[in-house]
Amino acid sequence: MSRDARYDILFEPVKIGPVTAKNRFFQVPHCTGMGSNWPLSHAAFRRQRAEGGWAVICTEETMIHPTSDAYPGASMRLWDDDDVKTFALAADAVHEHGSLFGVELVHGGLSRANRTSRMTPVAPSHTANKYPTRPQARGMDKADIKEFRRWHRDAALRAKKAGTDVVYVYAAHNIALPMHFLLPRYNRRNDEYGGKLENRVRLLREVLEDTHEAVGDTCAVALRFAVDECMGADGLEWDKEGREVVEMLADVPDLWDVNVSGWEYDSNTSRFSEEGYQEPYIAFVKQLTSKPVVGVGRYTSPDAMVAAIKKGVMDFIGAARPAIADPFLPKKIEEGRIDDIRECIGCNICVTGNNTFAPMRCTQNPVVGEEWRRGWHAERIGPTGSDDQVLIVGGGPAGLEAARALGQRGYAVTLAEREKELGGRLNWETSLPGLAAWARVRDWRLGQIGTMANVQVYLDSFLDDNAIRQFGAAHVVLATGATWRRDGVGHSHHHALPGAGRSGVIGPEDVARGHVGEGPVIVYDDDQMYLGGVLAEKLARDGRDVTLVTPGSDVSAFTILTLEQPFVQQRLRELGVTILQQTDLVAVHDGEAELACVFTRATRRVPAATIVLVTSRVPNEAIYHKLARRPDLLDAAGIKTVGIIGDCVAPGLIAAAVHDGHLYARELDAPPPENPDVPFLREHMDLREERESV
């Protein structure tokens, strides 16, 4: 296949200072949860994006000094020359495929706790830390400012030594010291670095000039700048001081990387924003500078990309999450394989890795985080290990991914689904407010399976253990999902709630399908992930009188990790949902719910014609156990293995189910690992020199 000529503009080279990008695809700086903690994993992750055709590949925040210690976050470090060799791993990996490597140099200022260095955080003025429970920051004097400029310059030189092509100065997301100097709420100085905007911009200008002087002969100098903080008059606004900063520094950097702050706005999810959602904020920048501009907006459509360039919004299509979901997105457009693009669903499961100090994962792309330790590739997979036939029972996220990956390997696969359509939980979850984009998990796999003659799909086909044994497949895997409990058992209750069996007590699927009676509704969210809040939103939009009850301190507490929680709570309040936090459901009565304070256990009753229990799920594992406990019957039927994957192993996120299905497909007929207790590679520090020094 050949590239559609409409997309030729995306593959034009663009000059950035002394370097040239081979096309307009720019993987902007973003966290991976790997960084200097797992540098080999980090390098392998970046390598696949370069192989996939991204012209510029940037690392995540790279801390320049121990006064900006992000631990336990897994950012990169360039504190001293000892960090250069580790840092160079990613640069070398990116250069293997002819892409440019960028580094985002960062000093977190008053947003850092410095837990390992135990050094005092610094800020423009004496101030509380940006985050509660972290130490107060010390106001910097002129000597401190001079030292900060030296730290940044030295880090830029180390980055150049490591092979970096693009060196960033960072003033975005309200977590960088130069941005802190820009903001009056942090900068209360009365010298040449405080007061009027020209003074507050001074440090940013100086650092840009220092960086040019240090490395600008061979490295492009980029400025990452948040033009708007989405706070109204209380923060930076794009049409006021945000614009003025761009006017002041218009041609100082070689590249403008522009976005909005904080991170929750910059990485807004598909539940709360559409593709290209940042364009209204950043469109003015190209009018003010002769230098190239990169912007983001969760772009997955090549038509939207072309439009953004032709409208003059940006020169580069920036991406973090779309590049995570499909590292080969540019190459697929170039090769005319648009339908093969694995589109980002905007769920921010990738973000949860960083926020839990763990390597990243992705709902759409199960390879993420496994590039080095398991040797997985996003596009390539090993061939069959036999001519055996595989039967997959259940067509939800795990079953679909197992069928797709096994089909790609070349196995003869039969996928049997008891319902009239494939998708499992995706079919009803994606009907809920804001979750429509999640259907891409199902639709992409259906599209891929539809091209495979070796994968046969049978709908409306319930298979019990007898039917499975009679089918004749050598390998059987159960992907039969899980069912939401109707008895209230979950985190807070380990036994059935009194009265849970009454009429009017329903589960999440009932809400999605409109099976809700008249009268006031209580959504009892003891799951505390995302679903309780979404169900409450749907019911409120349907005109119901809704009360959301949760034992947690926050509504949909898990969404703190996906950066959505403030938006969830705001939306529910705007829709008129009554929210009762730190409150437990302890019993169901006729037309009433008995609630209790989680601390005092004091109870009260509230009207409730319908109670939606969002507590926990029961795996649909009965058929698996019927098969597994009769190995004699399996042998007689010629069945070599029986597996179980996804929610019917342990109910969890869609991302976990997809990963589980992919892992099964990769491991079928594969040689056993050398160490079955640890079936993946681990990164070990070489302690020889350390031992000698001790």
Active-site residue list: 31, 170, 173, 266
Residue position matching structure tokens 């939103």: 537
Distance of alpha carbon 121 from alpha carbon 311, whole angstroms: 43
Asked whether 68 and 144 are in contact (CB, 8 A), the reply is: no
Distance of alpha carbon 476 from alpha carbon 393, whole angstroms: 8
Describe the strand order of the beta sheet including 475-478 as a list of residue ranges.
455-458, 412-416, 389-393, 475-478, 641-644
Dihedral sign, CA of 48, 49, 54, 56? negative
Q: In terms of DSSP bridges, do strands 293-295 and 316-319 run parallel, antiparallel, or are they unpaired?
A: parallel
Distance of alpha carbon 556 from alpha carbon 41, whole angstroms: 31
Distance of alpha carbon 486 from alpha carbon 631, whole angstroms: 34
Distance of alpha carbon 112 from alpha carbon 110, whole angstroms: 6
Distance of alpha carbon 172 from alpha carbon 108, whole angstroms: 10
Other beta carbons within 10 angstroms of residue 386's beta carbon come to 12
Residue position matching structure tokens 């409730």: 608
Distance of alpha carbon 34 from alpha carbon 353, whole angstroms: 9
Residue 654 has, within 13 A of its CA and on its CB side, a CA count of 28
Asked whether 568 and 269 are in contact (CB, 8 A), the reply is: no
Asked whether 593 and 611 are in contact (CB, 8 A), the reply is: yes
Residue 371's SS3 state is coil
Coarse DSSP helix, strand, coil percentages of the chain, rounded to the nearest 5 percent:
35, 20, 45
Distance of alpha carbon 241 from alpha carbon 235, whole angstroms: 9
Distance of alpha carbon 406 from alpha carbon 668, whole angstroms: 9
Residues 6+ apart with CB under 8 A from 475: 388, 389, 390, 391, 639, 640, 641, 642, 643, 668
